[in-house]
Structure 1
Amino acid sequence: MFKFTSSEVKDLIIAFFVISLCFAILYAGRNPSGIVAMLPIVMVGVGLGFILHELGHKFVSMKYGYWAEFKLWPQGLLFALISSFFGFVFAAPGAVYTYANYMTEEINGKISIAGPIVNIVLALVFLAVATMIYPSALYSGTSALIFIVCSLGFSINSFLAVFNLIPIGNLDGSKVLTWNIGIWIVTIAIAGIMTALSMTMGVENIVRLILGI
């Protein structure tokens, strides 16, 4: 059964808010009014990206019969907040801990890759919505706002996927690489290309390319 503890829910809420704040600072700079205006917009992309990433790990863990629980990493949250003032976000607010007496490399790899795959799928969904809404965003304020939210959602989720697939330390990439190098190469390549495109072309130009305009 897919269950949550009260402490897990509290940790998820805290991590969600702080990580959203970090990305708001990253995009708005040190302007307080800009951060306040950006925060609700960023919450959609970061909120869905972060929460569903962790739930991806939890769901797959519990699918294999293990108990899994998200736990906050206060030092990671602090570092993420500090790093946001220097033009990047080290997004490691916590992790889903899977409790098992024994786990194969394959199962550990599948649990680990679930989070990045969620981010990749979310990024593509945001891009699809941005593409559909773009024509009306040129003259509608509401559509323009939705386009901005989706643009950030694509960029942030692409970044979260590629970041978590880096094969260092306890990040997902280390476990996926140990399990299956081919799957790791494919997933980090997809996430890396998406991130590179969002940083170089920008989402609007990607959308215009898709629409052929």
Structure 2
Amino acid sequence: MIKFTSSEVRDLLIAFFVISLCFALANGGRDTNAVLTILPYIMVGVGLGFILHELGHKFVSMKYGYWAEFKLWPQGLIFALITSFFGFVFAAPGAVYTYANYMTDEINGKISIAGPIVNIVLALIFLAVAVAVYPSAFHSANSVTLFIICSLGYSVNSFLAVFNLLPIGNLDGSKVLNWNFGIWIVTIAVAGIMTFASMTMGVENLVRLIIGF
């Protein structure tokens, strides 16, 4: 059973809202109405992506018998807000800290890769739903809303996956790379291709390509 402390729940909620706002600012620019309009959609994609990413780390840590807890990094939140005004988000609001006297590179790598894997799976689920609802989006407002949410969910989660897999500093990628180069290169390649498609083609064009529209 996964247990949470009250401070951990508080930190997760703060990070969830601020990161959602950051992505809304990055996408909506200086248009307040656009930011407020897109924020609820972003919160669904980012909410699932961010919370489940961290829970992935926590679940695998506790599976190995370690206590793990998410802690907020205020400086990371401030930096994320600053970068969002330049059209991108350096998303490092905090991390799940695993408490262990000793941990092998393999266990550390498996704990670290859990988060990005969650994001990749979520992105693919969002893409599958987007493909399913796209044909009906031409005559259904609800389908349009769902398609927008899924498009953002795909874009944000694929980006979160590739970002966290970068072998920089204390990001997940460094620990996965120390454990297994082959697994790291495959996962970052998959996440990178997904993100590249989102940034270059756009999700709608990707969906149209998939269904042959």
Q: Provide the TM-score with structure 1 as the length reference.
A: 0.99
For residues 17 and 31 of structure 1, what CA distance do their matches in structure 2 show?
Answer: 19
1:126, distance to aligned residue in structure 2 (A): 0.1
For residues 207 and 8 of structure 2, what CA distance do their matches in structure 1 show?
Answer: 38
1:35, distance to aligned residue in structure 2 (A): 1.1
- Runs of 4+ in structure 1 over 6 Å off: none
Any idea what the Cα deviations from partners look like across 1:29-84, whole Å, max 9, x if unmatched?
11112111111010000000000000000000000000000000000000000100
The residue number in structure 2 matching 1:20 is: 20
The residue number in structure 1 matching 2:203 is: 203
Alignment of 1:42-191 (within 5 A): 42-191=42-191
1:138, distance to aligned residue in structure 2 (A): 1.1
Q: Identify unmatched segments of 5+ residues in structure 1.
A: none
Total equivalences in the alignment: 213
CA-based RMSD of the aligned residues comes to 0.5
Q: Identify unmatched segments of 5+ residues in structure 2.
A: none
1:127, distance to aligned residue in structure 2 (A): 0.1
The residue number in structure 2 matching 1:11 is: 11
For residues 200 and 32 of structure 1, what CA distance do their matches in structure 2 show?
Answer: 26
User: What is the percentage of aligned positions where both structures have the same residue?
Assistant: 80
For residues 203 and 38 of structure 2, what CA distance do their matches in structure 1 show?
Answer: 17
Letter in 1 for 2:168: I
